[in-house]
A = this chain, B = another copy of it.
Amino acid sequence: MLEHGGNIDLALQRFGGRLEDWIDLSTGINRQPYPVPPLSPRDWTALPSRSEIASLQEAARQAYGARAPIVALAGAQAAIQLLPRLWPPGRARILAPTYNEYAPVLRAAGWDVADVADLESLAGADLAVVVNPNNPDGRRHQPDKLLALLSGVGRLVVDESFVDATTELSLAREAGRSGLLILRSFGKFYGLAGLRLGFALGSAADIDLLAAQGGPWPVSGAAIAIGRRALLDRDWVIKTSARLERDSRRLDALIHSLGWTLVGGTPLFRLYDTGNAVAAQARLAAVHIWSRTFSERPGWLRLGLPGDEKEWTRIAAALAR
């Protein structure tokens, strides 16, 4: 099994406490989630109809400012799982370090996979993968730089799982261009990762392939009802983006006093060089705050943002000890 944030089982095993004692900052999931509206019996009982799925997809298209074909899937992860099967295996190049699911999923399906360190080295790939902004280091790529890659690769997958609070980086408006496939996550920014909802936008041919693989009922009735409402709620998006931006600076300020340095981040998570992440994680875990380490980068610690003021108080106290 790969390392992931959200592995709160591990926190409990190693540091004790009950599930409800823990503040899980090991992911970039917004801890002030979109309020779950009341659901209708039909959301639970019926197979989602084509028009219900279409209306969710239309809401996402509107929210993302896109006009291209789109498909709803059970999370951006579901799109990643399907990716290697859409086209015959070839050369896949991944801008690294990044989200660690791409390489093994592609490799298992017979792709020749290698990490590259800069955008230019993606040239010549049959499938190029860029996460923008990047997880875990927050590295950002300007849309025009990414578009310039299109002529040199077979397909460019831009994973925008963490773009919602910095939409100026998004290529969603350009979706539909040949060779460009964009993945969006719903659960992170809206704080509802348990819902399993995400989207892919791209050319009609690619989206048709993904939709065929996803099958007739790719998402749940609850994902449709909640997703539709949340995606159309512009006020909430604006308020939330502003709060996350503010809170990410607040966390940086808190961390700065420890002597940890900011590697990078997005408004949903921050990556710090702590010198010794295992020790830093243990220090936070002693007061039941969970964080994400990276075995290949022993200094790195990733922290999501605390939710309410009680959580801020707890993390401030933990860091002051």
Residues on A close to B: CB < 8 A?
Answer: 1-2, 4-9, 19, 24, 27, 29, 31, 33, 36, 41-51, 74-75, 77-78, 80-81, 85, 101, 108, 187, 191-196, 212-223
Contacts and interface: CB of A to CB of B under 8 A. Distances in A.
B29 A42 contact: no
Given A2-B216, A77-B216, A222-B220, A8 B195 contact: no
B48 A194 contact: yes
Contacts of A193: 45-47, 217
Given A9-B51, A51-B9, A222-B222, A46 B217 contact: no
A220 B5 CA distance: 17
Contact of A4 (B1, B36, B194, B216): B216
A127 to B, nearest CB: 18
A7 B49 contact: yes
A51 to B, nearest CB: 5
B191 A220 contact: no
Given A7-B50, A194-B48, A74 B77 contact: no
A1 B212 CA distance: 9
Contact of A81 (B6, B77, B214): B214
A74 B24 CA distance: 26
B196 A217 contact: yes
Contact of A27 (B24, B43, B47, B85): B47
B1 A216 contact: yes
Given A6-B47, A77-B215, A196-B219, 15 more contacts: A1-B216, A5-B47, A24-B46, A29-B46, A31-B45, A33-B41, A46-B194, A74-B218, A81-B214, A101-B215, A101-B216, A196-B217, A220-B220, A220-B222, A222-B222
Contacts of A48: 194
B220 A196 contact: yes
Given A7-B50, A85-B85, A191 B80 contact: no
* Max count, chain B CB within 10 A of own CB: residue among A9, A219, A222: A222
Contacts of A27: 47
B213 A42 contact: no
B9 A49 contact: yes
A11 B44 CA distance: 20
A43 to B, nearest CB: 5
* Max count, chain B CB within 10 A of own CB: residue among A41, A48, A191, A220: A220
Nearest to A51: B9
Contacts of A192: 44-45
Given A1-B216, A108-B212, A8 B194 contact: no
Contacts of A217: 75, 77, 193, 196
* Max count, chain B CB within 10 A of own CB: residue among A41, A49, A219: A49
